[in-house]
Structure 1
Amino acid sequence: MHGPASSGWLLVALCAATGAYCLLRMRSSVEEQRRAAGGEALMGFGMAAMAVPAAAFTPPSWAWPAYAVVFGAAGLHALWAARTHVRHLHHLVGAGAMVYMAVVMATSPGHGHGGSGVPLLTGILLLYFTAYVLATGARLVPVPAAAGTGGSARWGDRPELARACRLCMGVAMVAMLPAM
């Protein structure tokens, strides 16, 4: 990503920590938590890798097409999963945004959008993720204890922590899109 190195490193740390927590959520005893956590871990680590400041590391030319293929496959998986639960449509949009950013970075390394202003698709994605961040943040607090747990749900099964991870990734996406 292009932009100040300090904000890039903060995004790397935020996204990597989110990805790591999502990996831990894959050990949940709740099947739906495990399914969602895998895709979210991929997204967190992928965003962390994309956010590494260009001044610190310039990926090889094959990296951006590889990102596009990986997140294209994740998008197809999300599209297939959306048959059973509409929430996967958000994963589809996220994977699509990652493919879009990878394609932009592959076609104009070192230049981002080339100073031509914010393209329409970037603007639409920014609006979507801004709305998502606001809606997720509003739902974050307060979250009642899970039914039947008496407030002692395992930390990997706590819905407010999963929402906080999704909120972090949404915020990171809002920061990354205009920085391309």
Structure 2
Amino acid sequence: MTITNTGPGVVSRHWGTASTIRQIDLTGIAHDNIVDRHTAVSSFTTLPLGEAVADIDMLRHAFVTDMNALAERGIEGGTAGRHVADVQMEAQIWLGGYEKPMFAVPNDYLAWCFLEVVPPVEADAGTAAVFDPRAGSAMTAMPGLPWGRQLTITPAAGSLAVVPGWLTCSIVPVEKGEAIAVVVATSIT
């Protein structure tokens, strides 16, 4: 399942779990040609946030807005979460060969904002895959139940996604020739 184009702070529910995925205008937020300006030593490189992001406060505001929308659970049936005061952000470049196996974070929320993407040939390369680990199904889809199915976030410049930190995530291997500049954020409560 791939979901895109919700507005700021618009909460969607997948498997009964709230998340936000939307496109933001990167004008004034991201620097141009991030990948070309930074020679990567390996398939994964971190860089100073200011070298990727021109307006850190504007990007911080976008992350905090969506995280707090999840905390407030704008859709009936949700449980209120803790208010997000700030975010910890890290700028990263992912190149061919980078992948990240299953992980979760101890923070309330995890987010990605894709700043620049050199697209892959294979549609799923470099996607962030998010799984709801409930139901004891070892990430296997169960007929008639929504759990076990993944939500995929396809890297596209301007895509901003926020999910609860307890969800299990992975980064599908980035293929050769593909390049992704992304800011990863975790909530601070």
Range of TM-score over shorter length: 0.3 to 0.5
Q: TM-score, normalised by structure 1?
A: 0.34
Q: Which has the higher helix share?
A: 1
Q: Indicate the structure with greater strand content.
A: 2
Which of structures 1 and 2 has the bigger CA Rg? 1
**Which protein has greater RCO, CA pairs closer than 8 Å, 6+ apart?**
2
